[in-house]
Amino acid sequence: MDSKHGRPCSIAAALSFLGDRWALLAVREVIFGNHTFSEIVRNTGAPRDRVAARLKSLVAAGVLEQRQYQEHPPRYDYHLTQAGRELVPVLSALRAWGDKWVVEDPPLSVTHHGHPVRPRVICETCGGPVHEDEVEKTSNAADWDLAGPVSVSKNSKKPPAAPKGSAGR
């Protein structure tokens, strides 16, 4: 159950909700202020049923919430929850990367206080930049370290000093 599904990881967990082709684009549209189903369909370019399924799963995941904005024909639109609002840094990072490495000219300009936003990740505790060669990562999962699954006594994933000849069968 451990090595079967890969490393336990928040990134993988997040991607299980957001790793779909359209999920983040739907969130993008809601962030942009386009809240209705039709707007999301039109602006993402996704098939209607995909948008319907994705909005449903995003609501179930707690990223979006439905609000009824009209009674007579009951109509709902979609709004960000707090979890959804906190996806903005993810989308900013993706946009910055795409702007730099995929497209030539950014299709969208983001400014604040009169100048372009240049997103950068810092550590809120110390206020300093996060250099990849200074960070230290430690796995909290029992059976995993950075290199992969570690031998779990009874689980013979990799007996390091195994007596080669007499192993297993």
Residue 152 to residues 53, 56, 109, Cα–Cα distance (Å) = 40, 39, 51
Of 90-129, binders to DNA (CB under 7 A) are none
Pattern of binders to a second copy over 37-76, x per CB under 8 A?
--x--xxxxx---------------x--------------
Distance between CA atoms of residues 144 and 83, nearest Å:
28
From 7-15, 67-75, 121-129, 131-139, span contacting DNA (CB under 7 A) = 67-75
Q: Does 149 bind a second copy (CB under 8 A)?
A: yes
68: CB partners within 8 A, 6+ apart: 74, 75, 76
Residue 149: strand, helix, or coil: strand
CB of 19 to a second copy, least distance (A): 5
**Are the CB atoms for 53 and 21 separated by under 8 Å?**
no
Pattern of binders to a second copy over 106-135, x per CB under 8 A?
xxxxxxxx-xxxxxxxxxxxx-x-xxx-xx
**What's the number of CA atoms in the CB half-sphere (13 Å) around residue 85?**
4
CB nearer to DNA: pick between 20 and 99: 20
CB nearer to a second copy: pick between 71 and 133: 133
**Are the CB atoms for 63 and 83 separated by under 8 Å?**
yes
Tell which one of 33, 49, 102, 118 touches DNA (CB under 7 A).
49
Tell which one of 50, 59, 61, 96 touches DNA (CB under 7 A).
50
Q: Does 2 bind DNA (CB under 7 A)?
A: no
Which residue type is seen at 21? R
Distance between CA atoms of residues 55 and 38, nearest Å:
12
Contact residues toward DNA (CB under 7 A) are 20-22, 36-39, 46-50, 52-53, 55-56, 72-73, 75-77, 156, 164-165
